[in-house]
Chain A
Amino acid sequence: EPEVTQTPSHQVTQMGQEVILRCVPISNHLYFYWYRQILGQKVEFLVSFYNNEISEKSEIFDDQFSVERPDGSNFTLKIRSTKLEDSAMYFCACDRDNTEAFFGQGTRLTVV
């Protein structure tokens, strides 16, 4: 069964450092998303991406965040200068027909 792959599964970074979270979506899916889940809280939408551009973003997704699909297969989320409050589980998701978003297993980001 096709699946969404995220790497790394866990990343620890120092405050102020840049991090890149990577995702390999399902190959014939066209819409991509990032969500995050702060420990003990609900899953929150960050950004959606289609046709090589952002189609929607939340208030959380400020100038410190960026996304790109550099090579047609990977989908990345970059946080330029991490803050303690960026510590969370980050989920990548993809979609083919708007009926079901497929989620990856997540990357746990810990900012120290």
Chain B
Amino acid sequence: AQSVTQLGSHVSVSEGALVLLRCNYSSSVPPYLFWYVQYPNQGLQLLLKYTTGATLVKGINGFEAEFKKSETSFHLTKPSAHMSDAAEYFCAVRRASGGYQKVTFGTGTKLQVIP
């Protein structure tokens, strides 16, 4: 079974500061990993994904994440927070084999950006 753990249900950063949202995964087989963002009362938007190849993946809005197999982590970072980054962020995992697989989400991290 696959699962993800997001450390910190709420994270506050100052505008212009580094954003770091933590995600650790558990998977018995190689995983695909994702970060989704959800703005208030809206749907899920894919920020970035790791499937194969380069372990440092870049996404939209200046976000990036690094797949570290040895640490079973997929932390999300952004060098400089913007007010518009305030949202809830979900880390997610799915099996990379065995056909189509469901996505398993973490509990989410709400990011607050302080002016």
Give A contacts to B, CB under 8 Å.
30-31, 33, 35, 41-45, 48, 50, 55-56, 91, 93, 95, 98-106, 108
Contact = CB atoms under 8 A, between A and B. Distances in A.
11 contacts: A33-B103, A42-B105, A42-B106, A43-B44, A43-B92, A48-B102, A56-B102, A91-B44, A99-B51, A100-B34, A102-B46
A45 B90 contact: no
B21 to A, nearest CB: 15
Nearest to B50: A99
Interface of B, helix, strand, loop or mixed by DSSP? loop
Contact of B100 (A48, A106, A108): A48
Interface of B: 32, 34, 36, 41-46, 49, 51, 90, 92, 94, 96, 99-108
A48 B46 CA distance: 19
